[in-house]
Amino acid sequence: MEISNVEKEYHHEPHLVYSCQYHVIFCPKYRRKVLVDGIDKRLKELILEKQNEYQYKILEMEVMPDHVHLLIDVDPRMGVYHVVNRIKGYTSRVLRAEFPELRKRLPTLWTHSKFISSVGAVTLEVVQKYIEDQKGK
C-alpha cells in the first residue's frame, strides 16, 4: 500500500483543526499465524470499508500472519482507542463468519491488547518505511 500524500495533513472542521496519526499494532489470540490464505486480503478490505463510518483514514497497512500494523489518521473527537476497538470488533465478527476455520482454532480472533503510538516524534515516512519493511522479516 502506498501513501499518496506523505505530507502531514491537517483536517479543518468548524472550531477544530487537527492532525492525529497513530501507529497501531494488534494480534490474533495466542499470536497464532492465522492471517493467511485470503484472510489477510479480506481483513484489509474490511478495514478500508469502514473508514468513513468510523471516522478514520488508513495511511498505511500491513497484515502479517500473526499481527497487523496500521498507520491511521483519527478524528480526535472519536478517540483512537475507541476506533481501534470498533475495527477489531467488526473484523472479528465478519472474518469468523466468512472463515469458519478461525472459529475452530481460536475462541476469539483478537487479543484484548493493542499497541498505539502517536506519530509526532517521527515523520510519517519513518513509520511508513518501518511498516513496509515488516513484510521482509
Catalytic residues: 130
d(CA 127, CA 40): 21
Q: Are 132 and 76 in contact (CB under 8 A)?
A: no
d(CA 84, CA 79): 9
Q: Are 109 and 66 in contact (CB under 8 A)?
A: no
CA nearest to 20, candidates 73, 57, 96, 71 = 73
| CA–CA–CA angle 55, 60, 66 (5° rounding) | 105
